[in-house]
Amino acid sequence: MLMTRSLYLVAGRGSAKTTDIQVERFIEMMHDMPGAPVVWVSDTYTNLQKNVLRTVIDGLEMKGYKEGIHFVIGKPPPVFKKDEIPDHLPAKEKEHFWKPYNSIISYKNTMVTYTGFNVTFGSLDRPASLAGNSYVHMFGDEAKYFLEHKISNLMKAIRGYRVKYGNSPFYRGHTLTTDMPNPANVGEHDWILKMAKKMKPKMIMMILKTAFVVNEAIQEYIYAKENGSTADQIKKKRVYERWNERWISLRMLPESNTFFYIASSYVNADILTPEYFQDEFDSDMSDVKTAILSMRAGLESGQRFYANLAERHFYADGNCPVWSAKLGLLDEEDCRILKYLDKDKALDAGADFGNMMSLIIAQEDRKNKYYRGLKFMYTLSPEWIRDLADKFLKFFAPHQKKVLNLYYDRAANNYKKAGQDLATQLKNAIEYFDAEKKKRTGWRVILMSEGQGNIGINEEYNFMQELFSGKNPALPRVAIDQFHCKPIKCSLEKAKAIKNSKGQDVKDKSTEKLPLKRLPLESTNPSDSFKYLMMRRNWRVLVNGQRSQSTGTVSQRG
């Protein structure tokens, strides 16, 4: 009912921010600005492909818009002759899909609707996909993951086609949504909260009151069309048009073009059901206040398990610009996208097993003097070891040096004599395409944690404090790709330290009881794979002060 130029919404988990709120504004603009170019931004291209785009399509289809009829993705729009146009769609000239007002050179990152309204999908980890274009509006979800200076630069591109679209209330606006950011988490940014100052509540109320009158006027006009005389129809139509014009005029005013709102997940209570909220509160998770109730609550740095973790431990330039330019919405990435990957050098990996299996792939970057976390992969039950291995094999198929040094929990070596230990199963799944070991993949996996002792109950806390402090020159300088290893980043940032019965600092593992689909971005599971990768024997002794023991090399063990 408001449909202001800009919407900044902070709403709880499950509040249908994309499928309802963003998509409804999208549909309104699709008809209000036919042919116009807009941009939809995400933090990562992977998130864009696997989550954002799917959610947008779901929202459109829920509202009756079908792919191939009302919109197309990643390809030029089809041309339907006038006699082929479905009855419920408008006809314009001789084609069903109206021509976009702007020139589109490549459709690989684009959605085009039947009104010519076209969306360029892009991400902050591939800035080249958004460079050099002009747009009339910007969409974006999970804005808490957007770096302020990066999104500010993109906002400068919301500037074009004023002569054509300058009279639209949506022109040069933003539609940005997120759940409540927690600034104590290293990768979350709360700049969206500043937008509250732009809103003028009195003007917003004026728009809302006018919208109620518009709704009443259009209902009376519809009733007159079905039951009234011609004169009554004309009268009611004029009343509706007059109030609709007032509604649009109010939305065009500079002092009424911004709506900022904070809402809890209860705005969608009818769909989520009371049981959903009961389960959330019963779980007693620390993020309920922020994620469900949208309260400004954060974890103090002193409460974080990885307290010395900082922005310097992440990098945002991990994509190869050449390969980024070649890939579109319908293409799948492989390891050639990784800018810092040395394809002629063996890989390291840390693995954690369970209902969520995690695998972080890393490599030493001698040129830049970093030990880099390059890529994170995972599976959720019922997916199992074969599925995780297939994801690895597919992504790293172009890698030349097909050697993987695998680090893992010593518990993964249980039942090794029977050949049923999980580490060996993953090794075999990566080395062979089949369970019978008849068809080799070309990869060789070295089990690096055989015979490794148990990691002490609070040894991880002490080790990670020293590792991330950067004060021990004998330990590697860690750098993690914040986009390709997003679950690792979230897991490290959100892990909480608690005291055990002996007063020792240990990791709070309660988040691992969350529903399965929430584990990748909200639990400590991914951080465990990082633990096994880093807490190898020769690095642990550098912190514990014990005598170093060699774990061997690829050449020694191969």
423 residue type, one letter: A
The pLDDT assigned to 129 comes to: 66
The pLDDT assigned to 83 comes to: 60
Domain locations in the chain as residue ranges: 1-198+264-298, 201-252, 302-546+552-556
Topology of domain 302-546+552-556, per CATH?
Nucleotidyltransferase; domain 5 (3.30.420)
> 197 pLDDT band (50/70/90 cuts)?
very high
Q: Reply yes or no on whether the pLDDT at 127 is more than 70.
A: yes
Predicted TM-score (pTM) above 0.85: no
When comparing pLDDT for 324 and 453, which is higher? 324
The pLDDT assigned to 553 comes to: 36
**pLDDT by residue (tens digit) across 315-326?**
989 999 888 888
The pLDDT assigned to 94 comes to: 45
> 484 pLDDT band (50/70/90 cuts)?
very high
Whole-number Å distance between alpha carbons of 148 and 311: 14
Average the pLDDT over each of 199-213, 297-311, 330-344, 473-487 and give the range with the smallest value.
Answer: 297-311
Whole-number Å distance between alpha carbons of 482 and 494: 14
**pLDDT by residue (tens digit) across 367-382?**
889 999 999 999 999 9
DSSP state of 314: E
480 residue type, one letter: I
> 93 pLDDT band (50/70/90 cuts)?
very low
Q: Reply yes or no on whether the pLDDT at 86 is more than 70.
A: no
Mean pLDDT of the chain: 88
Question: Phi then psi for 349, rounded to 5 degrees?
Answer: -150, 145
347-352 and 314-315 as β-strands: parallel, antiparallel, unpaired?
A: unpaired
Residues 6+ apart with CB under 8 A from 340: 318, 363, 365, 368, 372, 374, 481
**pLDDT by residue (tens digit) across 20-70?**
999 999 999 999 999 999 999 998 888 888 889 999 999 999 999 999 889
Q: Which residues pair with 204 in a beta bridge?
A: none
Q: Reply yes or no on whether the pLDDT at 558 is more than 60.
A: no
The pLDDT assigned to 228 comes to: 84
User: Could you tell me the two tokens for 439?
Assistant: 């068809």
The pLDDT assigned to 118 comes to: 96
Whole-number Å distance between alpha carbons of 185 and 179: 14
DSSP state of 22: I
Best CA proximity match to 265, nearest among 255, 276, 254: 276
Q: Which CATH architecture has domain 1-198+264-298?
A: 3-Layer(aba) Sandwich (3.40)
> 489 pLDDT band (50/70/90 cuts)?
very high
Best CA proximity match to 513, nearest among 523, 505, 503: 523
DSSP state of 95: B
Beta strands in 147-284 (DSSP E): 173-178, 258-263
